[in-house]
């Protein structure tokens, strides 16, 4: 079988900046060779059974030499593997991708280049520094601050780089910053020219230092800012005062513990990234089959017999349609049955499966579902409540008390995830989020002293029921979402006092 190597630029760190083509390559590779600068979220896009080989290089610590990395790519491609070589930033911007491509070409290994967004442009942009601006410059230059040490001389023309009307961006320059500053000053660049240094650009750990050419070395020593960093020199740095945006967000730099099930964590984590937070993925519960799977299967098989079918979560929708598929049937099985969903996310999950939802209450809790159903049903009508095994009884009990014929069927069950590292993850977090009562209980099963551990944290809950469970366990709750969805929880966190 013929192999192939994709040289993929991962971008500067924010997983949202990975290109669609890069994501597609990752999703179909069987071997991943990745760098120090490739973010965990992007590495996680590779298939679970993909072989992952870390070849990271940072100052003073090289896992493999460049020659060894190149030889590895040739060997894997020649062996018929579908390989993604994931590189931080862009493949060809001071990333030695040209050397790797050349070696693959000489060995006859098919390859493809997938460009990435270079940190030279993205990191300044996330710092509020445009690399070009009509008021300040008409050109910009990207230069390396770390040339091949075996050359014995510098290829950089500092006489041209010392241009006060241009922007100069140095990559990998922190180790030689004093020498670069000295050369620019010696070639006539004024000490008053602004300088910006962006550490970990586009990530929630981003840090920015601004000074002038004459004061930047002292400012670096004072702040301790270090590699990996981008150095921007030019009048455009002044624009940060006006258009700083990424590190001005309310959750910037906050470490947020995400306790919802693993298969639902990605969407939440992405939203946290977009508001500047650092998601810490720590599922406290997992989903599994219900105690009586035959009862669930039987209810799905006779779904057309019900006047109403009620779904109280997206997980219930998934479980129902999984069973429907096993039975060889599709959405037509509902016939004339009307559908109720507890909230917009559950309704959206049904819509994607071709089901038009008849009822969504204004408040996304079981009590509101019960009240809305009572207004739309009559005594004696049959109602199927398809839910989690552990769900509260308020919904079916309210319907039963009002004379409805209610079948309560567990489509799935939740269990606590055994995670010995959960206490350490919670300790690192600034904010702890709970998206259901089960996530609260799951954390406490792993960390019995959780209430004490969370005393110094901001605790945020998706709604009042989850908040009540947390408070009953002795956990102080600081933030409760007004809209009981993950979107609402993120909005509540961004609106909360710092």
Residues with a known catalytic role: 35, 57
Question: Are 223 and 209 contacting, i.e. CB atoms less than 8 angstroms apart?
Answer: yes
Dump the DSSP string for 328-342. T--GGGGTT-EEEES
> What are the phi and psi torsion angles at 210 (to 5°)?
-125, 145
**From CA 371, how far away is CA 367, in angstroms rounded?**
6
Question: Interhelix angle for 216-223 vs 177-186, to 10°?
Answer: 160
Strand intervals (E) in 132-244: 140-144, 167-171, 194-199, 207-212, 229-233
Question: Are 4 and 77 contacting, i.e. CB atoms less than 8 angstroms apart?
Answer: yes
**From CA 256, how far away is CA 254, in angstroms rounded?**
6
Query: What burial class does residue 449 get, using C-beta atoms within 10 Å of its C-beta: 0-12 exposed, 13-18 middle, 19+ buried?
Result: exposed
Both tokens of residue 206? 């981003």
Nearest to 408, CA basis, from 494, 255, 299? 299
Question: Are 117 and 15 contacting, i.e. CB atoms less than 8 angstroms apart?
Answer: no
Question: Are 365 and 484 contacting, i.e. CB atoms less than 8 angstroms apart?
Answer: yes
Nearest to 463, CA basis, from 429, 431, 497, 434? 434
Buried b (16+ CB within 10 A) or exposed e, 135-174: ebbeebbbbebeeeeeeeeeebebeebbbeebbbbbbbbb
Q: At which residue do the structure tokens 């792993």 appear? A: 446
């Amino acid at each position: 079988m013929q192999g192939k190597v994709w040289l993929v630029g991962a971008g500067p760190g924010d997983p949202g900046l990975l290109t669609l083509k890069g994501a597609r390559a990752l999703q179909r590779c069987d071997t991943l060779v990745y760098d120090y600068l490739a973010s965990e979220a992007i590495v996680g896009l590779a298939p679970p059974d993909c072989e992952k080989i870390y070849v990271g290089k940072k100052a003073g610590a090289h896992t493999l030499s460049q020659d060894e990395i190149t030889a590895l790519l040739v060997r894997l491609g020649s062996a018929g593997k579908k390989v993604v070589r994931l590189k931080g930033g862009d493949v060809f911007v001071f990333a030695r991708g040209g050397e790797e491509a050349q070696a693959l070409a000489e060995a006859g290994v098919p390859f493809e280049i997938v460009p990435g967004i270079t940190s030279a442009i993205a990191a300044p942009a996330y710092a509020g520094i445009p690399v070009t601006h009509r008021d300040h410059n008409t050109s910009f230059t990207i230069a390396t601050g770390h040339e091949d040490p075996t050359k014995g001389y510098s290829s950089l023309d500092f006489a041209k780089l010392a241009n006060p009307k241009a922007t100069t961006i140095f990559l990998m320059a922190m180790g030689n910053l004093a020498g670069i500053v000295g050369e620019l000053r010696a070639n006539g660049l004024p000490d008053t020219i602004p300088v910006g240094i962006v550490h970990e650009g586009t990530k929630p750990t981003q840090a920015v230092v601004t000074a002038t050419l004459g004061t930047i070395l002292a400012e670096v020593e004072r702040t301790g800012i270090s590699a990996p960093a981008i150095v921007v020199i030019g009048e455009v740095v002044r624009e940060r005062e006006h258009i700083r945006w990424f590190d001005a967000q309310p959750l910037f730099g906050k470490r947020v513990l995400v306790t919802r099930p693993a298969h639902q964590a990605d969407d939440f984590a992405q939203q946290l990234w977009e508001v500047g937070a650092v998601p810490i993925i720590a599922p406290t519960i997992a989903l599994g089959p219900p105690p009586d799977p035959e009862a669930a299967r039987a209810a799905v098989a006779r779904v057309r017999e019900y006047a109403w079918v009620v779904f109280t979560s997206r997980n219930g929708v998934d479980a129902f349609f999984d069973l429907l598929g096993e039975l060889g049937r599709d959405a037509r099985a509902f016939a004339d049955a009307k559908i109720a969903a507890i909230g917009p996310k559950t309704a959206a999950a049904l819509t994607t499966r071709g089901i038009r939802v008849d009822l969504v209450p204004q408040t996304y809790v079981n009590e509101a579902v019960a009240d809305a159903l009572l207004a739309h049903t009559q005594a004696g009508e049959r109602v199927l409540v398809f839910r989690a095994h552990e769900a509260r009884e308020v919904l079916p009990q309210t319907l039963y008390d009002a004379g409805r014929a209610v079948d309560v069927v567990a489509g799935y069950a939740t269990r606590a995830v055994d995670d010995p590292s959960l206490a350490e993850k919670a300790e690192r977090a600034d904010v702890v989020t709970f998206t259901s009562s089960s996530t609260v209980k799951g954390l406490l099963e792993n960390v019995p002293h959780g209430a004490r551990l969370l005393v110094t944290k901001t605790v945020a809950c998706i709604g009042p029921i989850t908040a009540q469970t947390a408070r009953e366990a002795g956990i102080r709750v600081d933030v409760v979402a007004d809209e009981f969805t993950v979107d609402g929880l993120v909005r509540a966190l961004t609106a909360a006092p710092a």
